[in-house]
Chain A
């Protein structure tokens, strides 16, 4: 069930009033769980046992760990139970495919059969959420949750179930332990967020996708300008798509009295790669930092080890996105970029002498380069895009000017809003905000009516 569809509107129109009534009773979490399972089951009810397994195994392991002398064994079991699910459903095919390629290269005729499974939507998100609870409980950072229903509602809470933000038990579970407060201001804030997210997804991301899909479907047929523009367009498409989803998720949750993380903070206004990762998919980058980078030693074991840890974290982050070498390369590019610029970004020259706009444009260009590998279907396609851009040459890219104008306006808005410009005050002026919202509503009503194009990150 997608947020920008009539089905979700109908679903929410039924769920929300009941939630408002039940939120002060002990039935709230049961209702949220039921609603969340219906929400998830709308895709494929056969995968409900999967999320139930992740939930029950994580909850049970922590309960067993609580008074056990073998805490390490239990946490290992909990981590294994979750990673096994992720490994089989998400990486099984990839592993077999590569193993078969290795066997073939070694001259072995035998072939392993690939698992015939469809990737369950949102698996990477809810597994990571459950996993963080197991590890936090082991570390003593979160109280043990005694109610299975409440814990299940935490893992499956429908606004953030399929594409995050990846919430931590320490933040979200307490919100499910007491009746959420729902005021008019909360509802207004939720609606504001939902409107912005809806506009990002339907009016911007889906419009950009039309151009990107055309070019990336056959990169050999396009020349440098179209390839470069399609890559920049993809950078905006994935931002509008994913942050639009997050805005809608946060909006829905806010109207229900819950507060989800800010997952995107104007990432293309970042003035450095470190800054970019503080602004892009914040809940995932902080997850990797807390559960991979820091356990590896973080920056406490010398410079060389710090770089190794950063690289490993980035590679795993790439692999998290998808079981394909393109994602691994995407992670490797970011690892290399981070390694190359980490010390540079700390210098007073970079901080004080390089104009902020130049830094922002450089970061955007680098991020776009990495997105080529993220978007391309194969490494061959990615190479075709890179070499096509490098070859230069002119061919009319036929990029739609109205879309370019719209994206340019949004970028300018973000740069102004994220910076210290005086115009920021103008943007915060109520008539301007209301005027922009009115424009978005009119645009959505007339130009960009919702379709059912799924969110890009659902595939992860």
Chain B
């Protein structure tokens, strides 16, 4: 058959080219070569993350807090947690209330606790958007380095202020840190994701190399995949972007530090969920139990929630949640504090204090035995 004119050739019953069974390129490898390549891949997978830690210094400094843009860089968080555990005796874990989006790094709760203690004892390990279900995943998979340390675990009741925030809502919705939540069991009603992505999340938690690859994208490629970064920087050398210099501690205000009363926010009811059936509360307990099982001395700080922002009905619902949490903690013998609400003008929204609010909270906590 004329190879250049197959479609006009003499009729044939089976017109597959004779060479159809061969490979179209030179990539056929032997078993021995593939074994060598598997060893090469294993060396990369096992060797790169620890070597990278040595190459990329993590300088925590005073009042260090994770750069806001790296809130999903769990590999860096694990390093930060381990470094903080070496340097501080008490670590503050929680969501943005601990992190402090309305304040600079020198105005956070950990800062004022340190100032009060007269030494650097308290580390800010808060992460923006870290609701309790994700927090349990964070503690389980990325906070092994803080085993045995004193931990202040912040409980933000806001996550129980509606079925949706409690991840019980029907229908698909987006929420923070989906990679940290349980992927298969227990089932989260509003979490819709492909089986493949769920399996990928589970694998990533257990393979530091994959976490490191994510760190590379988060820290050096503007939180994009490398191909997407290349598309936005078509003439840049991607290797040059990897400077091995992590962004410094975050000292920016990420939201305007204005009291909630000046933002036009109206009093809210909130559809508080029942503590007994709350998904978030169940996972908060799980996080706490994991920490205690690792030898951590855990102190739970509940709120203080901005009760001034609630209607009378909303305050009733909140009181049920707050009291339910406090009762459980007391019954379980967990060190805890449920401070009364701060003055109204010290809140930026329902749960975040402003700088003065953090200072006031630190003063209130300072009298408790755990903080002395």
In the complex, are the beta carbons of A433 and B234 less than 8 A apart? Answer: no
A282 touches B20 (CB 8 A): yes
Tell me the bound Cα distance from A275 to B27 in angstroms: 23
Return the chain A residue nearest B201 by Cβ: A6
B213 x A446 contact (CB < 8 A): yes
Judge if A456 is at the interface, Cβ distance under 8 Å.
no
The reply to whether A445 and B24 form a contact with Cβ atoms under 8 Å apart is no
Asked if B216 is at the interface of the complex by the 8 Å CB criterion, the answer is yes
Question: Could you tell me if B29 and A191 are in contact, using CB atoms closer than 8 angstroms?
Answer: yes
* Contact residues of A between 427 and 460, Cβ < 8 Å to B: 427-428, 430, 433-434, 436-438, 441-442, 445-449, 451-452
The answer on a CB contact under 8 Å between A188 and B11 is no
- Is B203 on the interface with A (CB-CB < 8 A)? yes
Asked if A271 and B37 sit within 8 Å, CB to CB, the answer is no
Given the interface pairs A2-B196, A6-B196, A433-B33, the reply to whether A306 lies near B8 with Cβ below 8 Å is: yes
**Quick check: B27 and A195 within 8 Å, CB to CB?**
yes
With A282-B17, A447-B226 given, is the CB distance from A428 to B4 under 8 Å?
A: no
- Is there an interface contact between A417 and B25, defined as CB atoms closer than 8 Å? yes
Q: Is B295 an interface residue (CB 8 A)?
A: no
Q: Specify which chain A residues have a CB less than 8 angstroms from the CB of B234 in the assembled complex.
A: 398-401
Tell me which of B19, B200, B216 has the highest count of chain A C-beta atoms within 10 A of its own C-beta: B200
Of the listed stretches A51-59, A79-87, A260-268, chain B binds A260-268
A37 nearest CB across to chain B (Å): 16
**New A-B contacts (18) at CB < 8 Å, excluding given A275-B4, A300-B11, A448-B227:** A5-B200, A6-B200, A210-B228, A274-B4, A282-B16, A290-B12, A294-B11, A399-B234, A400-B230, A433-B26, A433-B33, A437-B29, A445-B44, A445-B45, A445-B209, A447-B226, A447-B227, A449-B225
B9 close to A (CB within 8 Å):
yes
- Chain B interface residue count, Cβ-Cβ cutoff 8 angstroms: 58
A262 touches B21 (CB 8 A): yes
Contact between A310 and B7 (Cβ–Cβ < 8 Å)?
yes
11 contacts between A and B (CB under 8 A): A7-B194, A193-B23, A211-B231, A266-B25, A289-B6, A290-B12, A298-B8, A346-B2, A445-B209, A452-B194, A452-B196
Q: Given A271-B4, A437-B33, are A264 and B11 neighbors across the interface (CB < 8 Å)?
A: no
Q: Which residues of B sit under 8 angstroms from A19, Cβ to Cβ? A: none
Which A residues from 1 to 28 make CB contacts under 8 A with B? 1-2, 5-10
Q: Which of B11, B12, B24, B34 contacts A265 (CB 8 A)?
A: B24
CB contacts (< 8 Å) of B57 on chain A: these are none
CA distance A338 to B5 in the complex (A): 10
Contact A7 B195, beta carbon cutoff 8 Å: yes
| B247 → chain A closest CB, angstroms | 20
Cβ proximity bits B10-42 to A, threshold 8 Å, 1 near / 0 not: 111111110111111111111101101100110
Supposing A7-B199, A290-B15, A441-B40 touch, asked if A192 and B227 sit within 8 A by C-beta, the answer is no
Q: How many chain A residues touch the partner (CB < 8 A)? A: 86
B15 touches A286 (CB 8 A): yes
> Is A278's CB within 8 Å of the partner chain B?
yes
User: How far apart are the CA atoms of A448 and B230 in the complex, in Å?
Assistant: 12
- Expressed in whole angstroms, the minimum distance between the Cβ of B48 and any Cβ of chain A is 8
A449-B33 contact in complex given A192-B28, A211-B231, A278-B3, C-beta closer than 8 Å: no
Complex: A191 Cα to B10 Cα, angstroms: 37
A362 interface hit (Cβ, 8 Å): no
Q: Which residues of B contact A (CB under 8 A)?
A: 2-17, 19-31, 33-34, 36-37, 40-41, 44-45, 194-197, 199-200, 203, 209-210, 213, 216, 225-228, 230-231, 234-235, 237-238
Q: Is the Cβ of A192 less than 8 Å from the Cβ of B20?
A: no
The reply to whether B27 and A278 contact each other, CB–CB distance below 8 Å, is no
- Given A438-B40, A452-B197, A277-B6 contact (CB < 8 Å): yes
The answer to whether B7 touches A441 (Cβ under 8 A) is: no
Which A residues are CB-close (under 8 A) to B24? 243, 262, 264-266
- Contacting residues, chain B, for A438 (C-beta < 8 A): 37, 40
Contacts of A403 in B (CB 8 A): 227, 230
CB distance from B353 to the nearest CB of A (A): 39
Which chain A residues border B210 with CB–CB below 8 Å? 449
Residue A368 interfacial (CB < 8 Å) = no
Tell me if A345 is interfacial: C-beta within 8 Å of chain B: yes
Closest Cβ of chain A to B103, distance in Å, is 36
A342 within 8 A of B: yes
Residue with the highest number of chain A CB atoms closer than 10 Å, among B7, B26, B29, B234: B7
Q: Which residue of A lies closest to B237 (CB)?
A: A402
CA distance A441 to B226 in the complex (A): 16
Residues from chain B with a CB closer than 8 A to the CB of A8 are: 196
Q: Which residue of A lies closest to B41 (CB)?
A: A441
